[in-house]
A = this chain, B = another copy of it.
């Protein structure tokens, strides 16, 4: 059975423009909260294929979105490379021993050694594929090497990324060494996700906007392109989505062997269409806070539909759905997207 979401990723005409939401398996859903609390900790939930499968499927059942996205976290990668990871309540993820020198870098697991330890992710994918209906796509994902490395070096989320940036401006070779090691793991990780059954992969570069243009191209985009080329050469039938958040001023230098460009809410859709619309399918870009209001949702969905004129587009938010959004409004958004784009 053909999947409308996969078709849309390749720019094929579909009966309507498909829709999903970043973080759709998340805290705004009471059924998610229930499983999350049974799991005890966030990391437990990521490690438990049965439970991760369940929360992955919840938004598909509830909202009838066109794609499920694997429930996991980008930081399981550095975790399985050997870095102790804790999710501290109210503070977010913390690596107690960040990577700041050659010795710490050498001590990490690399390549296949790290990728195979992520077996619980591959098992989750297999479970989901058994349950997910044939017309829905399953999206696998990873963090982009740059985004992963910000956590590995800073040790936690950061406002200024000064430790990373000091390395970029004073020890660029060392920074490239870290990024290369992470890139090798990410390639194998996505490859194993594909082998386990995902239909599409998405690369999240959540902290793209932390770097000025020339350094972004050199220290992040370069590695995303390398990952995309590697996968495309082996798995041309698997669409690749990239989502570098917050870089509207860098779009004129974006190229590479991927299929879909995720447009965040700070990048006007018309601007993304101008620079990328001929070469890539665009995904996004509603400001997630518009989900607080049906009127604001309507205004944006119809505006995006009008800008894209039903062509080469996938509906989504411009960032993850927030925990305090009413489920009813999320449902309204999904229904509206399908309705306005009916052919």
Residues of A within 8 A of B (CB): 160, 162, 165-166, 168-170, 209, 212-213, 215, 246, 248-249, 265-268, 271, 287, 289-290, 292-293, 296, 318, 322, 324
Q: Which of B248, B289, B290, B292 contacts A249 (CB 8 A)?
A: B248
For residue A246, which residues in chain B have a CB less than 8 angstroms away from its CB? Answer: 209
A212 and B162 within 8 A (CB): no
A287 and B212 within 8 A (CB): yes
A212 and B265 within 8 A (CB): yes
Closest approach, in angstroms, between the C-beta of A155 and any C-beta of chain B? 15
With A212-B266, A266-B209, A324-B162 in contact, is A169–B249 under 8 Å at CB? no
For residue A266, which residues in chain B have a CB less than 8 angstroms away from its CB? Answer: 209, 212-213, 249
B292 and A169 within 8 A (CB): yes
A213 to B215, CA, bound (A): 25
Looking at chain A's contact residues, the main secondary structure is helix
A287 to B164, CA, bound (A): 13
Extra inter-chain contacts (18) besides given A160-B322, A165-B292, A170-B296, CB under 8 Å:
A162-B324, A166-B289, A166-B292, A169-B289, A169-B292, A169-B296, A170-B292, A170-B293, A209-B246, A212-B266, A212-B318, A213-B266, A248-B248, A248-B249, A249-B249, A249-B267, A249-B268, A249-B271
With A265-B212, A267-B249, A292-B169 in contact, is A322–B287 under 8 Å at CB? no
A246 to B249, CA, bound (A): 10
A166 to B322, CA, bound (A): 11
Closest approach, in angstroms, between the C-beta of A151 and any C-beta of chain B? 15
A290 and B160 within 8 A (CB): no
With A249-B248, A249-B249, A249-B267 in contact, is A289–B322 under 8 Å at CB? no
Closest approach, in angstroms, between the C-beta of A131 and any C-beta of chain B? 33
A290 to B168, CA, bound (A): 9
Measured CB to CB, the nearest residue on chain B to A251 is B249
For residue A169, which residues in chain B have a CB less than 8 angstroms away from its CB? Answer: 289-290, 292-293, 296
Q: Which of B162, B271, B289 contacts A289 (CB 8 A)?
A: B162
B322 and A268 within 8 A (CB): no
For residue A290, which residues in chain B have a CB less than 8 angstroms away from its CB? Answer: 169
For residue A271, which residues in chain B have a CB less than 8 angstroms away from its CB? Answer: 249
Interface centre among A169, A246, A324 (most CB of B within 10 A): A169
With A249-B249, A296-B169, A322-B160 in contact, is A213–B289 under 8 Å at CB? no
A114 to B266, CA, bound (A): 34
A266 to B267, CA, bound (A): 13
